[in-house]
Amino acid sequence: MIHLLDYGAGNVRSVRNAINSFGFQVADAKQPEEIVAADKLIFPGVGNFGVVMGRLAASGFAEALRQRIALGKPTFGICIALQAMFEGSEEAPGVAGLGIIPGQVRRFFKPGLAVPQIGWNNLKLWRDSPYFAGYGGERLYFVHSFYADLNENNRDWTLATTSYGGEYISAVAKGEVIATQFHPEKSGEAGLNILGNFLKRRQTLTVASDSAAACPPKQEPSGPPGLAKRIIACLDVRANDEGDLVVTKGDQYDVREEGIVRNLGQPVALAERYYREGADEIAFLNITGFRDFPLQDQPMLEVLEKTSEKVFVPLTIGGGIRAFTDKNGKHYSALDVAGRYFRAGADKISIGSDAVATVEAYLRRGAADGASPIEEISRVYGAQAVVISVDPRRVYVTNPSASGHACIKTKFPGPGGEKYCWYQCTVKGGREGRDIDAVQLATICERLGAGEILLNCIDRDGGNQGFDLELIAQVKAAVSIPVIASSGAGKASHFPEVFRETGADAALAAGIFHRNEVAISEVKAACAAAGLLVR
Ligand code: 1PR
């Protein structure tokens, strides 16, 4: 029996599924005494340091964790749990951590460095560890804006370090206690193996915890250090005319062919296929979410629940993430909707139409009111859990300065020979244009706490002509959060092209994967051949 400390923030379902995949049962530790008494305890989660420490203190769990770790009982901490072991964090000045490891947690900061770090990085192992038995230096999945700072007083705890804007602590261990900044339950087979080593261990650890400085790295990274470019498979999902939930695909957002909703496969089966084929993330977009009510749209929740049982890389869900009032007049906030999706197995939620409405309100008011879905969800689950999905289309102009928008001089003149264009944001899957441009949307959403931009392009969608490099370069230059290039991929070489030309952090495709025209492995080979870091 493995006990799980679920304090209610973040996608714990995937940790449960990972534990079950090894044949172990999970029990929730609900009382402080259970935390101390449990044979093995896993403490997972993402979220805001201040919120997490507040919940741990209020429930008496903080003191129980200190006791347990002082007893050296088998404990595995994930992500925010590693950070909580330190004395404090810049994310919540004045809030004490558990204080088990000397040192502070700091915010990534380096000009040009995308924050949060989202994706696959590798690590240096500074000593042998039974938890890393069988680890061959593979990249693991990180998603965080703050890092544990290495210093002379915590080297004895430091098991591994990772390079991102500098060297930081990515795993700590002492005796039977281990914590990782990366998510083993989201790091594919390499991550599951690390978790499995913890779950299957029987004897007490005898390996001495010599300090990190005393010996050279036991395991160098398998490839150059640093964050890899992510290749994301995207599944646009909606009910077809018979009411079955299918994976479909638009051509400039038109998903019908001869009047019939294109059916490119079953959501869960396709997601499992892409996981096996090496996708770094899977994104589900419920493209009629603007009119469905997700909490009654059980099929979408069921797709997530089933997918997270077999797919151990990050899952993003978009479509209909906004406040709702159901037919009985019961109100659900965007936070309620997002929380339901996280509990169903999503790691990130993506907001499309409602982000445009939020930015329109922001521009009318001239400031944030702290109540937008972006701010609400980011405050509780962290910026890295909030993706903004942008559905822009080109608007050509002859006189950019008169447009009132962020224009570019384009290589592809408009129908009237116009040499300039801006990118108009739309809502409801491109059905309605708004007087907001992609740069306004991205920069204001970043300011409100979004952690990533999913940058689609209606003009390029389904066209196989390559990504809209001018659009992606314009938005990437305007924000410091990661940007996912989307729309238009037609061949493997379109991926290294978009990374090289725009600095995008990830690239997403749908049609070429669903139609088996290009394999994910071909895309990664093309990126590696172009000298890019890939998993
Ligand atoms: O507005 O918050 O309810 O979210 C709706 C979500 O659904 C948004 O993320 C929006 O982008 C998406 N969406 C809505 N309608 C459509 C449509 O196609 N009719 N999908 C749609 C947009 C984006 C990607 C697509 C890329 C790559 N598609 O799914 O895969 O363009 O395609 P390609 O590689 O085949 O070119 P809300």
Are 265 and 244 in contact by the 8 Å Cβ rule? The answer is no
CA of 286 to the centre of ligand 1 (A): 8
Place of tokens 């999503």: 346
Tens-digit pLDDT profile for residues 437-474: 999 999 999 999 999 999 999 999 999 999 999 999 99
Q: How far apart are the C-alpha atoms of 80 and 87, rounded to whole Å?
A: 13
Q: How confident is the model at residue 208 (pLDDT cuts 50, 70, 90)?
A: very low
- Give the mean pLDDT of 329-356: 94
68 vs 382, higher pLDDT: 68
Q: Strand 230-239 vs strand 506-509: parallel, antiparallel, or unpaired?
A: parallel
**Domain 230-390+448-529 is of which CATH architecture?**
Alpha-Beta Barrel (3.20)
**Pocket residues: Cβ below 6 A from ligand 1:** 234, 236, 249-250, 253, 255, 285, 287, 289-290, 318-321, 350-354, 389, 391, 429, 456, 461-462, 486-489, 508-511
SS (H, E, C) 452-481: EEEECCCCCCCCCCCCCHHHHHHHHHHCCC
**Domain boundary assignment for the chain:** 2-200, 230-390+448-529
Q: Is the pLDDT of residue 204 over 60?
A: no
Q: How far apart are the C-alpha atoms of 50 and 47, rounded to whole Å?
A: 9
CA of 298 to the centre of ligand 1 (A): 20
> Residue with the nearest Cα to atom 7 of ligand 1?
287
Pocket test for ligand 1, best of 264, 288, 322, 391 (most atoms within 8 A of CB): 391
Q: Is the pLDDT of residue 158 over 70?
A: yes
Tens-digit pLDDT profile for residues 274-305: 999 999 999 999 988 777 776 766 788 999 99
Tens-digit pLDDT profile for residues 56-111: 999 999 999 999 999 999 999 999 999 999 999 999 999 999 999 999 999 999 99
Q: Which of 119-123, 247-251, 399-403 has the lowest mean pLDDT?
A: 247-251
Q: Is the pLDDT of residue 210 over 60?
A: no
Are 457 and 467 in contact by the 8 Å Cβ rule? The answer is yes
As a dihedral over the C-alpha atoms of residue 256, residue 511, residue 438, residue 376, rounded to 10 degrees, the angle is: 90
- Give the mean pLDDT of 413-419: 97
Q: pLDDT value at position 499?
A: 98
- Give the mean pLDDT of 147-162: 97
CA of 287 to the centre of ligand 1 (A): 6
State the closest ligand 1 atom to the C-alpha of 462, by its place in the atom list counted from 1.
36
**Domain 2-200 is of which CATH architecture?**
3-Layer(aba) Sandwich (3.40)
The catalytic site residues sit at 79, 183, 185, 236, 391
